[in-house]
Amino acid sequence: MIRRIVPCLDVKNGRVVKGKKFVDITDVDDPESLAEYYSQSGADEMYFYDISASTEDRRISKEFIDKVAQKTTIPFGIGGGISTLEDIEDIFNRGASKVSINSAAVKNPEFIKLASEKFGSQKIVLAMDVKKVGDNKWNVFLNAGTLDSGVDAIEWAIKTEKLGAGEMVINSIDADGTKEGYDIDLLKAIKKNVNVPIIASGGAGKMEDFLEAIVEADVEGVLAASVFHYKEINIGELKQYLKDNGVEVSL
């Protein structure tokens, strides 16, 4: 199985930003410049998240999608504030290959079912921002990690797979931006309960972290932001490192 390397670009007010545990947000670059850079650097796909859409209770800002589509040659997904089938159709028409749904799914699980039936489950990604709330227990958090939904992350993964989610991005809020490694226990717990591809998110700081998530949790993809944005890790070199350690990647 070929494992995917996935840069994540958080967008706010038309700019790519990065924070730590969802706070201390700093400016990075414009989306189209980074999209072009990642297209040329060996990334397998990208995710763009409008990170303030849900907290501001508005629909996703789409202007940047057109610019990104003109600059990228690899598939990309869009998330943040997506709550209608019309939004999804518009995003696909603008060139995206996947949509990532988080808050809207928790508020209305049927939305996942309707979206997957209309557009195909392979295009509908469930995004999950997760915090540990007890021993081997994690809950789904909403509104950029500020609101505990009370929904158990493992049970939610099982439920949304049945509803038609074709892939899941599992983001550990506890690990987000710390560069101390992915939450392997969380990833393992979800991985053994669902059969759709899992993308690990939150905590990557060094090449060994990517390898650990793939080997220990058997995830299909590894997502990161700041280590790629600030060129602390080169994607081509990361892929070679993974290949040298027995991981199948596209070079």
Q: What is the DSSP letter of 138?
A: E
Give CA separation, 28 vs 22, 80, 218, 226, in Å.
15, 18, 31, 9
In contact, 149 and 142? CB cutoff 8 Å: yes
Among candidate residues 40, 48, 102, the one with its CA nearest the CA of residue 71 = 40
Give the pLDDT score at 77: 97
> pLDDT of 61-101, one tens digit each?
677 899 899 999 999 999 988 999 999 999 999 999 999 99
- Read off the pLDDT band of 17 (50, 70, 90): confident
Here the tokens at position 73 are 């040659």
In the predicted structure, residue 168 carries a pLDDT above the cut 90: yes
In the predicted structure, residue 21 carries a pLDDT above the cut 60: no
Which of 17-21, 40-44, 61-65, 143-147 has the highest mean predicted lDDT (pLDDT)? 40-44
CB atoms within 10 A of CB 86: 9
In the predicted structure, residue 51 carries a pLDDT above the cut 80: no
> pLDDT of 184-223, one tens digit each?
999 999 999 999 999 999 999 999 999 999 999 999 999 9
Average pLDDT of the chain to the nearest whole number: 92
Rg of the chain's alpha carbons, rounded to an integer? 16
Q: Which residues are catalytic?
A: 10, 129
- Global pTM reads 0.92
In the predicted structure, residue 127 carries a pLDDT above the cut 80: yes
Domains in the chain: boundaries: 4-244
C-alpha torsion sign, points 45, 190, 175, 130? positive
- Distance CA(58)–CA(55), nearest Å, equals 8
What does CATH list as the number for 4-244?
A: 3.20.20.70
Question: Under 8 Å CB-to-CB from 83, ≥6 apart: which residues?
Answer: 59, 103, 104, 111
Give the pLDDT score at 118: 98
